[in-house]
Chain A
Amino acid sequence: MKNITSRLWLPSIIGIALILSVPILTIAFSIFEPPGENWQHLKDTVLYEYISNSLMLTFGVGICALIIGVSTAWLTVMCQFPGKNLFVWLLLLPMAMPAYIVAYTYTGMFDFAGPLQTAIRDWTGLGFQDYYFPQIRSMGGAIAMLSLVLYPYIYLLTRSTFLEQSVGVMEVSRTLDCGPWTVFSRVALPLARPAIAAGLSLTLMETLADYGTVAYFGLSVFTTGIFRTWFGLGDYTAAAKMAALLLLFVFFLIIVERISRKKAQYHNSSGKLTRFSGYQLQGLKAYGAFATCAIPVLLGFLLPAGQLSIWALDTWRDMLDERFLELIRNSFLLGLGTAVISVILALFLGYGKRILPGKITIASIRTASIGYAIPGTVIAVGVIIPFAWLDGRIDTFIQSNFGISSGLIFSGTIVAVMFAYVVRFLAVSLQTVESGLGKIKPSMDVAARSLGCRPGETLFKIHIPLMKSSILTALMIVFVDVMKELPATLILRPFDFNTLAVRAFELASDERLADSSTAALTIVLVGLVPVIILSKIISQSRLVQGNVQI
């Protein structure tokens, strides 16, 4: 179908993809920049440590999140035990917790002066250094914190694939004299492997992207290294090079994820999705299952949220001042602005793919949506370098022609911040919008056009009204992701411009944990909204189709 529509849509789609890939291309091409003195110095001293620490962190989080995610998914799909129906959605709650907030909440609770150790000392009469207590601000601590909030990725994808596995396969295995454990290890798990791999790669992408937790714990990994090189040494090229190195790891994960998702399509045994009644657990086994599901919910959400609430009750009167309202306003405007831009772009790209399916369109959309995997730190560095260059050019031009300085137009303004957000979160809105579009039959398009509607008109008259709820969901998810975003905001925000996330992190870094709790709790509460919606979707879809995408 080559006609007037393609003349406008296709170049626009390619243009959007190109603009959105500027930050990633900037970082990728920094590999070819001549290495400076600092780079050599970094290479000789800390680079090896960054790499090995990052690997250790991803490895640790991978193992822990796998164990929690897969075991809870299996239990909530295949077994019957008290509280099971509740755990199906309770297990999602930790998703609402940004890792850095959990990290400093636990630090507050488990530190020497914290309530737990104080209680131990009061109770046993022991004093300083008389007893062993694990150091929370450590590699192990970071692994624990990240696993506790990231396992839901694995839980969600594994759970949906367990639900899609044909009951027939399970029942056949049971008639062939397989116990639950054999069914799990020899049938369900191999069938679920691609989905688990996809969930794992998402988890590891988030681990590599984390800045708040590792910075708070003082660990030397890639993201903190990039920050130090950027702000400490002021060497942008070296920071970009380090970001490029991190990008290599991320690309590996992207490839694993894409291959796994593709495989997962074929691993779903088709057939009717009737309900598998599940293994009825009793006695010790039921307690075990209960504990396996309760512990992640308790440690990943209830405990830190409780602690935050206790702190907030103490301090909110001092914290709720004009500055706090400004934080809310800033966060809200950034979130809303980014959400609206992302959803408009997602509608344009998603509908473009529908009316102009083809290799070029698909390649462009993939390029435009790759940001979900790229750490905020990397995107931020990739945004600021070209923007600063552009500002420099504009300034020189205006200086030489008008004799005044234009100042910073792009870099150092919220334009840069929002651009980075769109790069990072477009995929989230695109996925939601595309799944909404997918539910509209193609004959609707044909019907509308045969009744005299042009393609753009069809989008507004038919598609947008039909997918209102998908659009609202996409707006909300992007909004919440922006609220929680930390590293890109830290690097790109204009001078003296704060958001809730930045303020919470700054106060926590200044050891004012209780003071930071009001901002943190606000983020968590807002973050709960999409989790609740997600849990509603999965509880509705569990009998029909456990096809929940994240």
Chain B
Amino acid sequence: MKRLDVKQIDVAYGKKQTVFEVDFSLEESQIGCLLGPSGCGKTTVLRTIAGFEKPTKGEIVLNEQKMNDSKTFVEPEKRQIGMVFQDIALFPHLSVVNNIQFGIRSWNEPQRGNRIRELLELIGMSQFERSYPHQLSGGQQQRIALARAMAPRPSLLLMDEPFSSLDVELREQLAREVRLILKQEKISAILVTHDQDEAFAMSDRISVMHHGKILQNDSAYNLYHCPANRFVAEFIGEGALLPGVFTSEDTITTDLGEIAGTLRETFKKEDKVEILIRPENVIVADTSDYQAVITARYFRGSGFLYTLKTSGGSELQCLIHGSDSLPIDKSIGVRLQIDRPVIFNRTSFGVF
């Protein structure tokens, strides 16, 4: 069953349109993610699903029920949606228990008590029920906020940058933990974030947003290996675009030699293109005919990430494992190893 269906929605603040034809859906107990740089409209989409903004076009269907059309508009408090916020937003004047029971205050006592105990156990914080928010750490507070949002068994949980106010070390750990909790409770959720590690750690499907539009809606693997356009290619993971020219219908010639392989699209001879080169595609090979100069070096723990400059002046990144470092300005032999090249037409500008 589809939990949520967002159909071609536009949203505007006054005259300024911030969301354009956003369209995606979510199955039961699936975790979706809206990933994009700040100001891309992802939070607006979230607020619209929750009912705090009204789409100017399109519709939102929650549990096979229309939330908005020309006549009706379901108020946020009637949508049975749980929310978790970047600034946590626990009610500071209420204890942990009272925060969690805020959304289920109309339940009868045994049910309510059971639900609270169950949730506290789930988040591993049973001993804190009498505490107040200010007595807890950031991570604990966010767990309570999650329990509060889940208490009424919402049909959908919306999380707006839920981990960005926490320490870096805590972020991924909590992201994985929350994923397990959501799966256990069979709750569908949407995560909004600008952090791809968080998105990868938590979600089943990711929609990359930019300038109010969804550019690609896919699994994390596909976003990395088969980005649909330049923006996604550059936004997800590391890498660079290397210029090349088709010298035959299935061969591209670049500064670092010829690339051949399974091409996703067909190109004509003489077409000028750019190929996405991830750091792992660049292999150091002393015997190679092609040389590149090291211009920068970053320590990455298990190895070094180098920035290389080709003879034609293009920049590439290359990850070399091991503890030995190569000096800057050294020229090294390299070759490319690409199974399925991602190719963009060089004449296309902008994000597409």
Contact stretch, chosen from B83-91, B194-202, B291-299? B83-91
Are A443 and B87 CB-contacts (below 8 A) given A450-B76, A452-B77, A452-B152?
yes
Q: Counting CB contacts under 8 A, is B103 at the interface? A: yes
CB of B152, distance to nearest CB on chain A (Å): 7
| Bound Cα distance from A451 to B85, whole angstroms | 13
Are A3 and B81 CB-contacts (below 8 A) given A446-B50, A448-B102?
no
Nearest to A2 among chain B residues (CB) is: B54
Instruction: Pick from A1, A2, A441, A465: contact of B89, CB below 8 A.
Output: A441
Q: Mark B51-80, 1 if CB is under 8 A from A, else 0.
A: 011100000000000000000010111110
Instruction: Pick from A1, A3, A444, A450: contact of B91, CB below 8 A.
Output: A444
Q: Which residues of chain B are near A444, meaning CB under 8 Å?
A: 89, 91
CB of A534, distance to nearest CB on chain B (Å): 25
What's the tally of chain B residues with a CB closer than 8 Å to chain A? 29
Q: Counting CB contacts under 8 A, is A449 at the interface? A: yes
Are A1 and B53 CB-contacts (below 8 A) given A450-B149, A452-B103?
yes
CB of B252, distance to nearest CB on chain A (Å): 50
Q: Which residues of chain B are near A1, meaning CB under 8 Å?
A: 52-54
Q: By the criterion CB–CB under 8 Å, are B77 and A450 in contact?
A: yes
Q: Mark A455-471, 1 if CB is under 8 A from B, else 0.
A: 00000011001100000
Tell me the residues in window 427-482 of chain A with beta carbons closer than 8 Å to chain B beta carbons. Answer: 441, 443-444, 446-454, 461-462, 465-466
Nearest to A458 among chain B residues (CB) is: B77
Q: Counting CB contacts under 8 A, is A8 at the interface? A: no
Q: By the criterion CB–CB under 8 Å, are A453 and B77 in contact?
A: yes
| Bound Cα distance from A333 to B50, whole angstroms | 46
Q: Counting CB contacts under 8 A, is B279 at the interface? A: no
Instruction: Pick from A447, A454, A466: contact of B93, CB below 8 A.
Output: A466
CB of B194, distance to nearest CB on chain A (Å): 18
Instruction: Pick from A2, A449, A461, A466: contact of B76, CB below 8 A.
Output: A449
| Bound Cα distance from A449 to B82, whole angstroms | 10
Q: Counting CB contacts under 8 A, is B350 at the interface? A: no
Q: By the criterion CB–CB under 8 Å, are A447 and B77 in contact?
A: no
| Bound Cα distance from A453 to B47, whole angstroms | 16
Q: Counting CB contacts under 8 A, is A284 at the interface? A: no
| Bound Cα distance from A447 to B152, whole angstroms | 13
Interface of A is mostly: helix
Nearest to B53 among chain A residues (CB) is: A1
Q: Which residues of chain B are near A461, meaning CB under 8 Å?
A: 102
Q: Which residues of chain A are near B76, meaning CB under 8 Å?
A: 446, 449-450
CB of B4, distance to nearest CB on chain A (Å): 15
Q: Which residues of chain B are near A454, meaning CB under 8 Å?
A: 75, 77
| Bound Cα distance from A93 to B87, whole angstroms | 40
Q: Which residues of chain A are near B83, meaning CB under 8 Å?
A: 446-447, 450
| Bound Cα distance from A74 to B102, whole angstroms | 49
CB of A186, distance to nearest CB on chain B (Å): 40
| Bound Cα distance from A441 to B133, whole angstroms | 15
Which of B73, B82, B85 neighbours the largest number of chain A CB atoms within 10 Å of its CB?
A: B85
Q: How many A-B residue pairs have CB under 8 A?
A: 64
CB of A531, distance to nearest CB on chain B (Å): 28
Instruction: Pick from B52, B75, B92, B103: contact of A446, CB below 8 A.
Output: B52
| Bound Cα distance from A450 to B82, whole angstroms | 6
Tell me the residues in window 311-328 of chain A with beta carbons closer than 8 Å to chain B beta carbons. Answer: none
| Bound Cα distance from A422 to B70, whole angstroms | 42
Q: Mark B255-291, 1 if CB is under 8 A from A, else 0.
A: 0000000000000000000000000000000000000
Q: Which residues of chain B are near A443, meaning CB under 8 Å?
A: 85-89
Q: Counting CB contacts under 8 A, is A4 at the interface? A: yes
| Bound Cα distance from A446 to B81, whole angstroms | 11
Q: Which residues of chain A are near B73, meaning CB under 8 Å?
A: 3
| Bound Cα distance from A466 to B94, whole angstroms | 10
Q: Counting CB contacts under 8 A, is B205 at the interface? A: no
| Bound Cα distance from A367 to B216, whole angstroms | 49
Q: Which residues of chain A are near B86, meaning CB under 8 Å?
A: 443
Q: Counting CB contacts under 8 A, is B148 at the interface? A: yes
Nearest to A468 among chain B residues (CB) is: B93
| Bound Cα distance from A3 to B75, whole angstroms | 8
Q: Which residues of chain B are near A449, meaning CB under 8 Å?
A: 52, 76-77
Q: Which residues of chain B are near A452, meaning CB under 8 Å?
A: 77-78, 103, 152
Nearest to A5 among chain B residues (CB) is: B75
Which of A443, A447, A448, A450 neighbours the largest number of chain B CB atoms within 10 Å of its CB?
A: A450
CB of A474, distance to nearest CB on chain B (Å): 18
Q: Mark B147-184, 1 if CB is under 8 A from A, else 0.
A: 01100100000100000000000000000000000000
CB of A465, distance to nearest CB on chain B (Å): 5
CB of A481, distance to nearest CB on chain B (Å): 29
Q: Mark B82-117, 1 if CB is under 8 A from A, else 0.
A: 110111110111000000001100000000000000
Instruction: Pick from A3, A4, A446, A451: contact of B102, CB below 8 A.
Output: A451
Nearest to B79 among chain A residues (CB) is: A450
Q: Which residues of chain A are near B149, meaning CB under 8 Å?
A: 450-451
| Bound Cα distance from A4 to B74, whole angstroms | 10
Nearest to B145 among chain A residues (CB) is: A447
Q: By the criterion CB–CB under 8 Å, are A466 and B50 in contact?
A: no
Q: By the criterion CB–CB under 8 Å, are A446 and B54 in contact?
A: no
Instruction: Pick from A2, A4, A450: contact of B81, CB below 8 A.
Output: A450
Q: By the criterion CB–CB under 8 Å, are B93 and A465 in contact?
A: yes
| Bound Cα distance from A119 to B198, whole angstroms | 84
Q: Which residues of chain B are near A2, meaning CB under 8 Å?
A: 54
Q: Mark A1-26, 1 if CB is under 8 A from B, else 0.
A: 11110000000000000000000000
A-B residue pairs, 8 tightest by C-beta: A451-B103, A443-B89, A443-B85, A450-B83, A447-B89, A449-B76, A452-B77, A465-B93
Q: Which A residues contact B (CB, under 8 angstroms)?
A: 1-4, 441, 443-444, 446-454, 461-462, 465-466
Can you list 27 A-B contacts with CB-CB less than 8 angstroms, sorted by A residue number? A1-B52, A2-B54, A3-B73, A4-B75, A441-B89, A443-B85, A443-B86, A443-B88, A444-B89, A446-B50, A446-B76, A447-B83, A447-B85, A447-B145, A449-B52, A449-B76, A450-B79, A450-B82, A450-B83, A450-B149, A450-B158, A451-B82, A451-B102, A451-B103, A452-B78, A454-B75, A461-B102
Q: Which B residues contact A (CB, under 8 angstroms)?
A: 47, 50, 52-54, 73, 75-79, 81-83, 85-89, 91-93, 102-103, 145, 148-149, 152, 158
Kindly list 9 other residue pairs between chains A and B, CB separation below 8 angstroms, not including A443-B85, A452-B152: A1-B53, A1-B54, A443-B88, A449-B52, A449-B77, A450-B50, A450-B77, A453-B77, A461-B102
